[in-house]
A = this chain, B = another copy of it.
C-alpha cells in the first residue's frame, strides 16, 4: 500500500515489493537451475547459477520496477478494462545485482559492432507453463495450449551498455525472494515491470521480434477505441507499434494517506507536508514536480529528493520523492490537490486519462480529494 511506500521511500524492502505473477511461483534451486543461451549465437551455452554469479562481472544498481497496471483502478472506474484493479502502489525500488545481458552475449560470441545487430532481437523466456488465455493468433498457438511467459527486446537495446539490461540474482544485497524470480530475473531499467521475466530459463538471439504469446497478448497500450472484440478482429494485438515497453511519466501523492484527517482550528498557522513519488522511462531525469490546488490554474514547484546518482552514461533508473509544504489555511479553499511531474524531455502528465483496453500506463495528474466537515 501507498503508506508503506511513503514510509520506506527510496529503497523498498524486498518483502514489501509488489508482486505480479501470471501463474504459481515455481520452486527452483540455485544448484540445479540453469540458463540456456541459444538462437543465433556463435557459442550456445548452458550456464549454472554459480557460473553466472562467479565468472561474469556483476553490475549492482538501484532500479525502480513498475507494474504496467499501476493506477489501473482509475481506468476501470471509467470503463472496465481486461485487467484487475491496481492502485498507485504497483511500484518499488530495489538494488539489483547480476551480470549484464551484454556480457552474457559477448561470451556467447555476439559481436560488439552495432552494424551486426540490426534486425535481431533477444528473446527471454521464463520457466512456468501458463494458460494461453486469448486463443490462436497468427503464430499457431492452439487455444488451451500451455505457453511460457516471455518477451524480446532489440539486440541493440540489450547490447547498448548505457541501458544496463541485466540478469539479477540479488536484490537489496540478498538472493531474490521466490516471488521475485529466484534464482534469476531479467531487469530492463526504464521498461515496465511486465517485461522483466522472472525465473528466466532461456535467452535466444533471433532475427525477428519474439512470437511469444505474452509478448503479444499482454503489456500493450491499444488506441482508445479498440475493444476486446475489435482487437481480435483487427489483429491489433500483433501490431508492433502498440507494445508497452518504456515507461511513461507518472506520479502519485502518498501523503496525505487515505482518510487522513487534519484539524484546521488548532493548526491554522501551520503547514502540512504533501509528499509523493514520480518516475519516468528511458533513463530520463525527473526535473520538476508541481502541485495545484485549483485544477491547474496555478502550479507550485515541489522540493525534489533525489537519492540516485546517474550512471556513467547519465541514466536515471529510479523514482524520485518530492514534498511540498502547504499552509493549512489554504486547505480550507481546496477541493482537490493534483500532482504532475516533468522530465528532461519536457514531457509531462496529461490532465485527462486515455482509456485503453488493458488499462496500462495510466498517468494523468494524480488527484486527491479534500473533504471538509464541521
Contact = CB atoms under 8 A, between A and B. Distances in A.
A221 B346 contact: yes
Contact of A248 (B223, B247, B347): B347
DSSP majority for the A interface?
loop
Interface in A318-374: 344-348, 350-352, 354, 361
B352 A296 contact: yes
A263 interface: no
A165 to B, nearest CB: 13
Contacts of A312: 114-115, 117-118, 156
Nearest to A345: B246
Given A288-B223, A290-B223, A352-B351, A246 B344 contact: yes
Given A287-B241, A288-B241, A314-B154, A354 B344 contact: no
Contacts of A117: 312
A208 interface: no
A243 B303 CA distance: 17
Nearest to A155: B314
A217 B185 CA distance: 46
A160 interface: yes
A245 interface: yes
Contacts of A244: 346
A294 to B, nearest CB: 12
A161 B244 CA distance: 26
Nearest to A299: B224
B249 A347 contact: yes
Contacts of A115: 312
Given A225-B299, A288-B241, A312-B114, A246 B154 contact: no
A109 to B, nearest CB: 19
Contact of A114 (B246, B300, B313, B348): B313
Contacts of A350: 348, 350-351
Contacts of A241: 285, 287-288, 304
10 contacts: A156-B314, A157-B314, A224-B298, A225-B298, A225-B301, A241-B304, A242-B288, A247-B346, A282-B345, A348-B354
Given A162-B162, A223-B290, A242-B287, 18 more contacts: A114-B161, A157-B314, A160-B162, A221-B346, A224-B299, A225-B300, A225-B301, A241-B287, A245-B344, A246-B346, A247-B345, A248-B347, A249-B345, A280-B345, A296-B352, A299-B354, A348-B354, A350-B351
